[in-house]
Amino acid sequence: MKKVSLLSLFFALVLLLAACGGGSEEVEKETDTDAADERWTEIEEAGELVVGTSGTLIAASFYDENDELTGYDVEVLREVGNRLGLEVSFEIMGVDSMLPAVNSGRIDVAANDMTITEKRKKEFNFSDPYKYSYTTMAVRTADNSGIESLEDLEGKKAGGGATTVYSQIAEHYGAEIVTYGNAPNEAYLSDVNNGRTDLVMNDYYLTKFGVAAFPEFDIHLHPSLKFYPTEQAVIIPKGAEVLTEKINEALQEMHDDGTLSELAIEFYEEDASKEPEGEIEEIDGIEL
C-alpha cells in the first residue's frame, strides 16, 4: 500500500508541476498582452491621440495660407482619431526627433510620410500602409546636377534629414549629407538652386509638390530616375498591439469607403493610396 501511495504521490507532483509550468506560460502571455494593451488604455482614457509631425512637408504635413496645419498625413490621422472617438493633437518636431519621441512616450505615434523599413520594424510597430510611392530627387534643370544614375551620386551633396531613408540611400551611393533640422522645403530646394547642394532625394509626391511650389528656382524632378518603392504608415510603439489594431481597423474602413483615395487625390492630385504603376528600380546592398 505504501508503494502505491508513494507512486501516486509522485505522479500527482508531476502533474502539479506540469500544470504550474503551463500556468506560468499563460501568466507570461497575459503579462505581455497587458503591457501591449497599456498604451491603448492610456489613450482611450485620455480621449486623445498625440501625433508627432513636422508641419514642413508640402502635401503631407504643412501649414496652409491660413496658418492651419493640414496635409495628407495630418488629415488621415484626424480621420483615424474621429473613427476611434479620440481628439487628435499634433506636436511639431523635426523628423530626426520623431522616432525617439515615440520610444520615450512623449508622443503616441508619428505620422510624417514615414517609410516602412525592415530596420525600423525591429524597433517599432507600423500600421498598414496608407500611402504607396517611390523615390526620386530634385536636381538642377540645366544638367540634372550631373546625375544620370545612382552611381553619379558619388561626391555630390544631398540635402536631407540625418536619419531618413533617403539620406541613407544617398550616402550609400557616396553622397555627402547636408542636414537642416526641421527646415521647410524652401531651404532644401533653394540650396539645390544656388549650388550649395546638388540634390534633394525624397518621396516622388513630396518632391513633385515641393518643386512646383517654387517655380522661381531652376530645379526640376529628375526625368528618368525612379527607384526604391516605398510604403508609408503610422509609426507606433513596439508591442502596442491593441493600438496598432485599432488604427488598422480605422484605416481599413477609410480604404473601403474611399476616404483614403479622396484625401490622396485632394493633396497629391493622384491616388497615392494605391501602388504606383511602372518599373521602379530596387536598391540592393543596403539595410534600411
pLDDT tens digits, one per residue of 264-282: 999 999 999 999 988 999 9
Predicted model pTM: 0.80
Distance CA 18, CA 25 (A): 11
Q: Contacts for 60-63 with beta carbons within 8 Å, 24 or more apart? A: 60/112, 60/113, 60/205, 60/206, 60/267, 61/111, 61/112, 61/113
pLDDT grade for 182, boundaries at 50, 70 and 90: confident
Given a cut of 80, is residue 9 above it in pLDDT?
A: no
pLDDT in tens, 197-240: 999 999 999 899 899 999 999 999 999 999 999 999 999 999 99
Report the interhelical angle of 72-83 vs 259-268 (nearest 10°). Answer: 160
pLDDT in tens, 98-147: 999 999 999 999 999 999 999 999 999 999 999 999 999 999 999 999 99
Q: Is 89:48 a contact under the CB 8 Å cutoff? A: yes
Query: In the sheet that 48-53 helps form, which strands lie side by side, from edge to edge?
Result: 87-92, 48-53, 109-110, 235-237, 124-126
Q: φ and ψ at 128, to 5 degrees? A: -65, 150
Compare 17 and 202 and report the one with higher pLDDT.
202
Determine which helix (DSSP H) or strand (DSSP E) holds 281, and give its type and residue range: none
Q: Is 207:138 a contact under the CB 8 Å cutoff? A: yes
Q: According to the model, what pLDDT value does residue 180 have?
A: 85
Beta bridge partners of 157: 176
Distance CA 47, CA 35 (A): 19
Going along the chain from its start, the domains and CATH numbers come out as 43-130+233-268 (3.40.190.10), 133-229 (3.40.190.10)
- Which alpha helices (H) appear in 213-273, and where do they start and end? 241-256, 259-268
Which residue type is seen at 107?
Answer: I
Which residue type is seen at 58?
Answer: I
Which residue is it, cell 526640376? 220
